[in-house]
Amino acid sequence: MEDLSRNQIFALHGITGTGSIALATALTYPLDTIKVLTQVIAFSTLIISHYQCDYAYTNLLFVDSKVGSIAGKELNANQVVLRVLSVSGNKGLFSGFGWLAFGRVFGTGARFGVYEILTAYCKDGREDNYVSASEALLAGMVAGATETFISSPFELIKLRMQVAAASYVPSSNFALEEGARKPLIARLLNGCYPDKRSLNQYVGLMSTLTTKNTNITGDLLEYPWAMTGSGRPPSVCNVRRPLDIISLEGWNTLWRGLRSGIVRDSVFGGVFFSSWQFLHQIMLDWKAAGMNPQPRLNQDIPPLSPLAVTLAAGFSGSVAAAASHGFDTARSRSQCTVLPKYVSMERKLLKWKQPGNRFQRYTGIHPSDRNILFRGLGLRMARSGVASFMIVGSYLFVVDHLASSLT
């Protein structure tokens, strides 16, 4: 009977944590959508203004006669919201919510679970149930890195759906019969078709040359870059479903931006748990100062109010978001870039090196992103702060309610 009650309590804590994470994700998801689009629009601006060769694979946010063009413009939060509402309506603010909620449940659960396991080793054998801020920092960094591996595929699909919700891509592709597609383009660019206008331009240019082969169109279809013209693959808006991503870019794409993601979540987890532990200890010391006699251990101090713990968690979430936001921007840039498998193969054969200094290569930051690394900082701080507040607050509220009802 005792084991059964323990299993029930464990299940109740798991269900409560899952519900808290899902609720916090739902309430803060519009802020995440606006933040992501603010970052992605900044990338689009760089494409127009600098023509970076590595950005040639990001093809998004085109001109819409009804909505207008945002290419080359920097939009504020209000303009981004109007853009989403005009293209996709109210549901556009929640595009990709299911993917993020599913990944956030497992990722955040892994973050807190790994942190509790690591801190349990730190507290083992100590008379006082105490964890220092430095120990919380190291444990939080390991926990954040663990979260990255779990939530990365869900975040990539979520981001591309968010971009599609604010993007208008004119339909210029024409469908060929299945037998008319050449094996090479069908294998490398599954589900994609050549751009008719670009293909006609190619044929027009090649027809002026002297050649013995009269089937110029068929030969051009052997080259994947003849699909859209200008050497660009499809828009990121057209490569957002899991099957499309895997067929065009490969399985490794689901973990694209892993370096910047590991650094981002490690910094976030370390700063979040260390600052939360620091604030928790300050509140305990403040409460112990008014007690007579003075308590010798933390266990002798009455529990803190749930509101104080929740406010400390919300503040820690905002600080952690500010500390890791630059890496979040770098990861958003990497995930909204379409990189077909044949391009990745060419880079491996040519031993292509990522541009930037050693720190930029290690953290996944592109040198051209230096001016936009803090774009959307306030939005992410607000989202992380409110989400942390909601997760901890709703969890403590439900647990205290269940504990009181059981007793």
Nearest C-alpha neighbor of 151 from the set 62, 238, 32: 32
Reading the block at residue 238, the tokens are 């057209």
Rounded average pLDDT over 377-391: 95
Rounded average pLDDT over 53-76: 44
In a domain, 241, yes or no: no
What whole-number distance in Å separates Cα of residue 344 and Cα of residue 394? 45
In a domain, 239, yes or no: no
Query: 187 and 163 in one domain?
Result: no
In a domain, 84, yes or no: yes
Q: What is the signed CA dihedral for 262, 268, 269, 271, rounded to 10 degrees?
A: 140
| pLDDT value for 62 | 36
Of 289 and 208, more confident: 289
Beta bridge partners of 400: none
Asked if 213 and 203 touch (Cβ cutoff 8 Å), the reply is no
Query: 185 and 97 in one domain?
Result: no
4: pLDDT strictly greater than 60: no
Query: 258 and 402 in one domain?
Result: yes
CATH of the domain at 62: 1.50.40.10
Which range is least confidently modeled, 46-55, 174-183, 251-260? 46-55
Query: 182 and 96 in one domain?
Result: no
Nearest C-alpha neighbor of 269 from the set 374, 150, 153: 150
Query: 393 and 321 in one domain?
Result: yes
Rounded average pLDDT over 3-22: 75
Query: 114 and 8 in one domain?
Result: yes
In a domain, 244, yes or no: no
Please, which residues have CB within 8 angstroms of residue 253's CB and are 6 or more apart in sequence?
156, 245, 246, 339
What whole-number distance in Å separates Cα of residue 340 and Cα of residue 188? 8
In a domain, 144, yes or no: yes
Asked if 82 and 111 touch (Cβ cutoff 8 Å), the reply is no
Distances (CA, A) of 65 to 68, 92, 173, 182: 5, 19, 19, 35
Which of 209, 234, 259 terminates a domain? The answer is: 234
Query: 340 and 193 in one domain?
Result: no
In a domain, 81, yes or no: yes
User: Range of 227's domain?
Assistant: 178-234
Provide the domain count of the chain: 2
| pLDDT value for 285 | 86
Residue labelled with tokens 């870019």 = 249
Query: 157 and 85 in one domain?
Result: yes
Which of 208, 234, 260 terminates a domain? The answer is: 234
Helical pair 377-406 and 306-335, crossing angle rounded to 10 deg: 140
**Per-residue confidence band for 223, with pLDDT thresholds at 50, 70 and 90:** low
Query: 128 and 42 in one domain?
Result: yes
Counting residues of the chain whose pLDDT is more than 90, the rounded percentage is 35
What whole-number distance in Å separates Cα of residue 252 and Cα of residue 156? 12
What whole-number distance in Å separates Cα of residue 216 and Cα of residue 89? 44
Helix, strand and coil content of the chain, in percent to the nearest 5, comes to: 70, 0, 30
Helices (H), 77-206: 77-88, 97-123, 133-165, 183-188, 196-206
240: pLDDT strictly greater than 80: yes
Rounded average pLDDT over 151-163: 93
Query: 338 and 212 in one domain?
Result: no
Query: 256 and 209 in one domain?
Result: no
Nearest C-alpha neighbor of 392 from the set 305, 322, 295, 270: 305
Query: 216 and 161 in one domain?
Result: no
In a domain, 14, yes or no: yes
What whole-number distance in Å separates Cα of residue 300 and Cα of residue 159? 47
In a domain, 242, yes or no: no
**How does pLDDT run across 323-366, given as a tens digit for each residue?**
999 999 999 988 988 888 877 787 888 888 888 888 888 888 88
Which of 234, 258, 276 terminates a domain? The answer is: 234
